Every structure is written in C-alpha cells, then in structure tokens.
C-alpha cells in the first residue's frame, strides 16, 4: 500500500469515527442534559447553573411515592420477563424444531406483531380484550401486556442462538440413552444459558421503560414511567431528572451487557456439524 492509499484509508477511518461519534452524541445528548441538570442546585431547569448539588438524589430517596412506583415497576418487569423466558423458550424450540420453513416464517410473523404494533394500538387492543373478559386494569393486566411484547423479543434472540448450535450434541445425548427432557436440561439449556441471560436483560430494559401500553392498563397503582409522566403533566421537581439519569444509565448498562453476552455467544458458534470419532477410526 502506497502513502496515498494509506492516507485515504486513515482519513476514511477518522471520518467514520467522527460520524459515529456525532451520531451517538445526538442520540444521547438528551440524557446528558438531564444528567447535567440533575446536579444543578436550582429548582429552575435553566442556565446558568447555580452550583453543584446532589440534593435531588437525596430527595429522590426520600420520595415515598416515587419509591413505591419504582418497586411496582420492578415487580411487573420481573414477572413479565419470567413469563417471557418460559414462553419465549418454548416458542423458539417449537419454531426451530417442529415447523417447516414456511410455517416457521408465518408463526414468527404472527408472534412479531406485538413488537411492531404502535404502543397505542396494542394498549387499546389489550384494554378492549381485558374488559371483555372482566379483567380490571391493574397489576395482572400490566404483566400480561408487557409479556405480549417481551416474549417475542426473547424468542427471536433464542432462535438466533438455536440456529448456530451443533445438533450433533443433542443427537449424541439421545443416542446414549438420554430422553428429550434430560437432553434439554443437560445439553441444550447450558448452550442457551448465555443467550437467555442476554434476552432477559433486553426484555427487562424494554419492559421497565414501557409507558404507552402501561398507561392504558394501569389501575390505581402506577409504574415508574407512568408516575413520571403524571409529574411532567402537572409540574415536577428536579428529582425527576435524578431518577431519569439512574434509569438511563441502568438501561444502557443492561443493553450493553445483553448485547455483549449475545455477541460473544454467537462468535463461539461452530463452523459446521461436529464429527464424532469412534474407536475404529471411522468418523460419524
């Protein structure tokens, strides 16, 4: 490579990094501004700053209504993710092993509908269905509503992992006398473990931050995003900036961790079916 080509390559790399950096700065600038104002000593959310202070974080910890909403959100999210993991795993195994290509695509498309539907449409649809079966808005309605879009997300993540797994390991286990349940527990599940954790982290982040569907399904008790929305409508203190900052940081960390786990799992996929050698030197 001559000097001109090397210079063009370096310029292209620098330009790409600058563009990516500017894009990330644009995407995360609202969170940066909120984090900045969460340390402002003034109750007025304007410049100039009146001084550095952590009193809004201290006030957040003393706000009982905010803490109750956060704990309520945590309960909803954990239960929705547990349901999503159980049903998402079952759907992923069914789609991967029992259905043909055409049937598999149709089922995946149907299960993806709650993910691609606008939140308003999904929320109103669930509310109509729940009222038709006399299920009142509240905790159970929110959990079911969240599980409808968390389950497909977990299913698609697990499907990606299942398609890279070596089927020879499961075949060998059953050839040695293990049943389907024992093979799943001892062979399949350990290979899915990291992908399950990654999918659960992504589902947790999406469920915890969800507001539109929750808004239609909430009863007397509200989740943290709905509580914050109500505060925004009627006026709020900079404590909201503090809780937004913590939620944003936790969400980013969870997404990065889930993506890193999933990427590491997929990089470790086998290049093809394994060959099992026998004592007579013949590969099977």
> Are 179 and 110 in contact, with CB atoms under 8 Å apart?
no
pTM of the model: 0.76
Residue 46 vs residue 216, higher pLDDT: 216
Number of domain units in the chain: 1
Domain that holds residue 95: 72-267
The verdict on residue 151 lying in a domain is: yes
Span 155-202, pLDDT tens digits: 988 888 888 877 788 778 887 787 778 888 888 888 888 888 888 888
The verdict on residue 52 lying in a domain is: no
Q: For the domain that residue 227 is a member of, what is the CATH number?
A: 1.10.3720.10
The verdict on residue 272 lying in a domain is: no
> Taking residues 249-265, what's their average pLDDT?
75
The verdict on residue 2 lying in a domain is: no
What integer pLDDT is reported at residue 191 of this predicted model?
A: 82
Span 10-26, pLDDT tens digits: 878 888 888 888 888 88
Quick check: 5 pLDDT over 70?
yes
The verdict on residue 110 lying in a domain is: yes
What integer pLDDT is reported at residue 194 of this predicted model?
A: 84
What integer pLDDT is reported at residue 14 of this predicted model?
A: 83
What integer pLDDT is reported at residue 267 of this predicted model?
A: 58
């Amino acid at each position: 490579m001559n000097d001109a080509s090397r210079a063009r390559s370096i310029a292209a790399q620098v330009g790409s990094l600058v563009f990516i950096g500017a894009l990330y700065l644009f995407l995360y600038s609202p969170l940066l501004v909120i984090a900045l104002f969460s340390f402002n000593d003034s109750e007025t959310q304007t410049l100039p700053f009146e001084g550095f202070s952590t009193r809004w974080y201290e006030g957040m910890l003393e706000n009982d209504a905010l803490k109750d909403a956060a704990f309520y959100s945590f309960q909803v999210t954990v239960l929705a993710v547990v349901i999503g993991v159980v049903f998402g795993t079952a759907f992923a195994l069914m789609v991967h092993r029992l259905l043909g290509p055409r049937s598999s695509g149709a089922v995946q498309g149907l299960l993806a509908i709650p993910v691609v539907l606008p939140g308003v449409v999904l929320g109103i649809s669930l509310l109509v269905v729940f009222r038709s079966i006399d299920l009142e808005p509240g905790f159970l309605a929110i959990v079911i509503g969240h599980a409808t879009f968390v389950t497909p997300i977990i299913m698609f993540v697990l499907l990606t992992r299942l398609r890279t797994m070596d089927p020879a390991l499961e075949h060998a286990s059953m050839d040695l006398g293990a049943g389907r349940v024992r093979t799943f527990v001892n062979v399949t599940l350990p290979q899915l473990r990291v992908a399950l954790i990654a999918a659960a982290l992504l589902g947790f982040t999406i469920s915890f931050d969800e507001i539109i569907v929750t808004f239609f399904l909430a009863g007397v008790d509200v989740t943290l995003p709905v509580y914050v929305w109500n505060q925004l409508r009627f006026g709020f203190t900079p404590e909201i900036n503090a809780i937004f900052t913590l939620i944003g940081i936790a969400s980013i960390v969870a997404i990065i961790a889930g993506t890193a786990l999933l990427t590491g799992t997929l990089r470790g996929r086998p290049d093809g079916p394994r060959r099992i050698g026998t004592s007579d030197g013949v590969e099977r």
